[in-house]
Chain A
Amino acid sequence: MYFPYFIAYMTAGFIISILVFLWALKTGQFKDQQRARFLPLYGDVESEPARTSRLNRIGAYVLFGIVCSGLLASAVFVLFVLIKSSAMNG
């Protein structure tokens, strides 16, 4: 018999989630969201912004290249699978 554990876990999880959500509502966690955006910045500002260089920009381009090649590879792969599966079904 395994399902009593599953049911207990799901019930506990559901009840706790609802309680936390209600607590959040009651304590105003969903209010004043504009101020919440700034919370990481309160209290300190770093001494100097880091200086950008040509190498930093190259780093950003490398990441952009990874994004493009990854997207391209994903698109080619989905196309490959669809063609393959339609050929097998047909």
Chain B
Amino acid sequence: MEIDTGMEQEINKAAIAFSLTSALWFALATSMGMVAAGYLIAPDFMANIGWLQFGRIRPIHVNLVLFGFVTPGLLAAAFYYVPKLGRTQLFSQKLGVYNAILWNITIAIGVVTLSAGYTQGREYAELIWPVDMLIVINFALVIVNLVMTVRSRKEPILYVSIWYALAAVVLTATTYCLGNVIWKPSSGALVGIQDAILLWFYGHNIFGLLLTPLSLGVAYYVIPKVTRNPLYSHSLSLVGFWGLLVVYTHIGTHHLLQVPVPTWLKVISIVDSVAMVIPVMVFLINIWYTVKGKVGEIHADVAGKFVFAGTIFYFFVNIQGSMMALPQVQRVTHFNNWVVGHAHLGVLAFAGMTALGGMYYVLPKISGKPLYSHFLADLQYWLVLIGSGGFTVVLTIVGLIQGNAWLNGETVYRVLPAIQIYYVLRVAIGFLILSGAYIGLYNIVRTIFFNPGAKA
């Protein structure tokens, strides 16, 4: 093995562009989330400003987090580790940079159209047809860049992170077309119950076939690097990869257990939701055994601890998810804030923290400059960790209050006074995440553009 200084010679402009994209939209996404949370305390908060209505802000927040913050952050890491693991160069830095520019234009158009009231009204699929098409084009460009990079590799074996990165972008490009019913541009929807089935097939797969594989790819790369340990088992990681593809694709209908969906489909979704424990534990056993004896080192490295915390939250979000698919449990947990807590646990605490870890790991290498401030990155870690944990606890409590009350036949409005205080707490905790997002944006911008500690 050769020794180097931890800095790469080539400046990876594509990865830099995607890192900046992620940091910028993370700040804006959490700002939108704060406005939305404000409405839950004071429903007439900004009531006269049409484009800031709750019904518009909420989908903007969700889409910004999914496609503005987490996905570009994870892709930034992928643009670094795919060529590194293949012992080659990225196919085209120029294509990657144009891709990032188009990505930002797409997200900006999405925000403007949603705030202007143009929506297809389906959860996670609100964006109108032209924006849908732009998203598909963006994913197609990522596919071209990564596949061509893999084709030119010198390392014959594809490390598991490459499998995950390629699967994520290829599967999402196709699932996105299907889930957004792009052959029906005017509505972006089918009619009747089959639309609900299709929507939740897509909706859950945005997490299962995009954020999860990209996050696992980052974890499988960053954890061995930070601990300086080889991966515990590469065979096991491939079992987890194929297991995830087989199992995860069938579970979307567990969102529809209370509606007249064919029973066989519900049974498949419940069985596979529980079976998700297999690929999840395969991943976690593999990663945690790789970390074994190096927990201190992981926590001494800001990127490592972001990613490691992400794996802890991955454990919880999946245990919770398997449990929530059980009909008896769902009688309490469905249609209330429990699910919102679950979503924050998955998207922010698991995939979001992993994306931040991935970016902090690659930033010094892709820019050729040291991280501007380890203190700020550390501060962001604690803000996001406490914020994510606090969010989950508060929203879970609210969900249990709501679910239990409704199960006992209580009307909605009589429950509202009981949960008001938790909504106030939610905003307070949200400020931690908001602060973390802006601190991260500052740190990343300073690292790339105004870095006094830059290497000549």
Contact = CB atoms under 8 A, between A and B. Distances in A.
Are A and B bound to each other? Answer: yes
Contacts of B228: 41, 45-46, 49
A28 to B, nearest CB: 7
Interface in A51-90: 51-53, 56-57, 59-60, 62-63, 66-67, 70, 73-74, 77-78, 81-82, 84-85
Interface string B1-37: 1111110000000000000000000000000000000
Interface size class of A (residues with CB under 8 A): 35 or more
A44 B87 CA distance: 11
A69 B155 CA distance: 43
Contact of A17 (B155, B245, B329): B245
Given A41-B1, A45-B4, A36 B234 contact: yes
A68 to B, nearest CB: 11
A39 B84 CA distance: 9
Contacts of A51: 300
B406 interface: no
Given A29-B158, A36-B157, A78-B323, A2 B190 contact: yes
A82 B328 CA distance: 8
Contacts, number: 141
Nearest to B162: A39
Interface string A21-43: 10010011110111111111111
A30 B296 contact: no
B297 interface: yes
A34 B308 CA distance: 24
Contacts of B305: 56, 59
A28 B234 CA distance: 14
A4 to B, nearest CB: 11
A78 B329 CA distance: 7
Interface residues of B, number: 66
A56 B224 contact: no
Interface stretch (B45-53, B57-65, B114-122, B312-320): B312-320
B235 A33 contact: yes
Contacts of A63: 308-309, 312
Nearest to A65: B389
A30 B328 CA distance: 41
24 contacts: A2-B190, A2-B194, A2-B198, A24-B158, A29-B157, A33-B238, A37-B230, A39-B85, A39-B157, A41-B225, A43-B1, A44-B2, A45-B1, A45-B2, A45-B3, A45-B228, A46-B6, A47-B4, A52-B297, A67-B312, A78-B323, A81-B328, A81-B331, A82-B328
9 smallest A-B Cβ distances: which pairs?
A: A50-B300, A52-B296, A56-B299, A36-B234, A37-B230, A39-B159, A50-B301, A59-B299, A40-B224
